[in-house]
Amino acid sequence: MNDDQLLRYSRHILLPQIGIEGQERIVAARVLVVGAGGLGSPAAYYLASAGVGTLVLADGDTVDLTNLQRQILHTTGAVGHPKAESGRDTLAHINPECRVVPLVERLAGDRLDAEVAAADLVLDCCDNFATRHAVNRACVARGKPLVSGAAIRFDGQVAVFDPREADGPCYNCLFPEGQEAEEVRCAVMGVFAPLTGMIGTVQAAEALKLLAGIGRSLAGRLLLLDGLSMEWREIRVPRDPACPVCSRRGA
Ligand SMILES: [Zn+2]
């Protein structure tokens, strides 16, 4: 790191758990954020400000006026522009040291697999089950830690799935594909604005911890937030030995 970086990240470097070594890991990292909406916004803010070297921001949507209530990466002037590019522009003002790669697409198939393979860590900040399962499959296949978040109405949840851990569950162990409750979308159901900030910020914290190699991650645990009563609950998530996505791993 150069002198400017040492200053910029000094309050991280002062933390004995992070120090120069941990910050250097963060600076060297490439992180894929799938979704630049309510969760991706705060997550990307903190990942970029905290010095992640390369942030790949993938979102096929354009900014809509109804997004601005909670999707804080985007400004009124960005309405009608691709979210990935709007996010890049905002993050460049916060930290020009962070290289943001905007992907104006809904990642799937080979493109998704290639981006997961190239990343050190993946954040699932999307809003639909199909993408969540596709991202999970790619992370299991490529052995990449996945920080998963969701927020709807006043309810939030966040978990880490780390295929590098022998007994670690994957997203599909917890929410088997095809058994989901009916998809509820923000467009119909509404979402409390700061809830997305709280969950997205936990995702950023877990990502930075994993990158720096510090603390205890949320792997194997699901945190549930009831924003109306402001209560967090924790559920242990066991690995499903019959999970079709991760069960053959290491066999
Ligand atoms: Zn699984």
pLDDT of residue 251: 46
Q: How high is the mean pLDDT in each 10-residue block of the chain (251 residues)?
A: 96 98 98 98 98 98 97 98 98 97 97 98 96 98 98 97 94 90 72 98 98 97 98 96 83 46
Distance 61 CA to ligand 1 centre (A): 29
pLDDT of residue 184: 67
Backbone angles phi, psi at 117, to 5 degrees: -60, -35
Q: Is 246 a catalytic residue?
A: no
Distance 182 CA to ligand 1 centre (A): 21
Residue type, 43: A
Residue 54 CA neighbour count, 13 Å, CB half:
12
pLDDT of residue 180: 72
Distance 108 CA to ligand 1 centre (A): 19
At residue 5, the 3 state secondary structure works out as helix
pLDDT of residue 65: 97
Chain segment 98-152, per-residue pLDDT in tens: 999 999 999 999 999 999 999 999 999 999 999 999 999 999 999 999 999 999 9
Cα–Cα distance measured from residue 233 to residue 175, given in angstroms and rounded to the nearest whole number: 18
Distance 114 CA to ligand 1 centre (A): 21
**Length reported for the chain:** 251
51, 98 Cβ separation under 8 angstroms: yes
Distance 176 CA to ligand 1 centre (A): 8
Cα–Cα distance measured from residue 178 to residue 198, given in angstroms and rounded to the nearest whole number: 28
Ion ligand 1: residues, CB < 5 A: 170, 172-173, 243, 245-246
pLDDT of residue 166: 85
98, 78 Cβ separation under 8 angstroms: no
At residue 176, the 3 state secondary structure works out as coil
* Tokens linked to 223: 């945190």
pLDDT of residue 85: 98
* Tokens linked to 96: 């020009």
pLDDT of residue 178: 86
Identify the active-site residue in 139, 186, 243, 246: 186
Distance 240 CA to ligand 1 centre (A): 6
pLDDT of residue 188: 75
Q: Where does residue 19 fall: left (phi above 0), alpha (psi -120 to 50 degrees), or beta otherwise?
A: left
pLDDT of residue 105: 97
